[in-house]
Chains A and B, each alone.
Chain A
Amino acid sequence: MVTSEHTLMEICGGQTHTIMRYSLQELLPEEITLIHGPGCPVCVTPAENIDAAITLAADPRVILVSFGDMLRVPGSRDDLLSAKARGGDVRMVYSPMDALEIARKNPHKETIFFGVGFETTAPAVALTIRQAHMRAIVNFSVLVSHVRVPPAMEFLLSSSTSRVEGFLAAGHVCTVMGTGEYLPIAEKYRVPIVVTGFEPVDILMGIRESIRMLEEERHGVVNAYSRAVRPEGNPAAKQLLGEVFEVVDCRWRGIGWIPLGGFMLTEAYRDFDAMIRFGLHTEQSDENIVCLAGEILTGRMIPTECPAFSVRCTPEKPLGAPMVSPEGACAAYFRYGRHR
């Protein structure tokens, strides 16, 4: 069925994980190469945002609340768990709504939620902010660090060194956003973009559809995850997302500025921006030069090609985000035994 070589990229940490766990690359013919893209929002959170979270956590007036997977990611110096060890009130939650509850229960402190995640997560944060607004909960704010997948796709495709011929689009991002944002990208770059789920068979099906389209020289968007994704996405979630957040250029750690790659609060909700409330400004920080996260996140290198992988950089002593985050490529390679 495959007559020539093809390179596909997935931009979803969950898909990276499944591919590694089930060794899906080995089930495919040699002609097909799977590349891991920057599908790990934890990994692409700028170091300076983590530094800001640490600064806020050190303030005795603050309760800094975060998703668990951010706690061990190093900023430019250390991580939130270290800030906690030094006496900062750092807490972990499953849902941003839990952070609002912490604010409600602690009226004499400021509860700040560290908002990290793609368009799958941002609506829940938008909901929380709107609830805070409606319930006049004044001691709550958000350190906004949400990012958008389609601009990253476009950025990668527009690079002159791009080898990517097709994408597996992240299924859960698409349950919210639908498939519409991918149509102009598929048209402009003439690539197949196949909305794909997370089970091993979902990924194989997504790959099969992408390869079929490449072999037939067709491009466009196909939904291979229709049991959870509708073309229009979830209109109510999208509507709330648009009410609370607007699109902005932002930096993706390891990659650089991605035009329209992130979210900021709309004017109506800007009061809830923790950076503004606390008068903080971020400056780009220096990165650990040994960590090759940028190469890994853009699929130019696989973790086992990094000299530090499993030698100086392990989940216990990570040099960078892709080894810390459960959705990171380096963590997935390490966990599923791809050592030298």
Chain B
Amino acid sequence: MRMARVRFGEAVREICIQWVPEAGIGDYILAHVGTALSKVDEEDAAFMLEALREMVLNRTQSNS
């Protein structure tokens, strides 16, 4: 089984990454109970979350 050390905040766990063969060192992955389920593109994620944060901010400002 292909394993990797994965950081979850402060903790580091050994996670099986054989289902996400495209993941490499430094990548972000979504893991659940010891198995990696998908790779998460951090740039995409950061960009989208920021865009959505703006959306929420605009909405709450216009409602007040």
Contacts and interface: CB of A to CB of B under 8 A. Distances in A.
Interface residues of B, number: 25
Contacts of B53: 201
Contacts of A236: 18-19
A169 to B, nearest CB: 15
Given A27-B60, A175-B38, A228 B30 contact: yes
A234 interface: yes
Contact of B34 (A95, A204, A234): A95
Nearest to B21: A236
B1 A230 contact: no
Contacts of A124: 16, 32-35
A295 interface: no
Interface stretch (A71-79, A115-123, A152-160): A115-123
A67 B38 CA distance: 22
A126 to B, nearest CB: 10
A22 to B, nearest CB: 10
A205 interface: yes
B37 A176 contact: yes
A327 to B, nearest CB: 13
A131 to B, nearest CB: 7
B13 interface: yes
A127 B34 CA distance: 10
Contact of B37 (A98, A120, A201): A120
B16 A127 contact: yes
A94 interface: yes
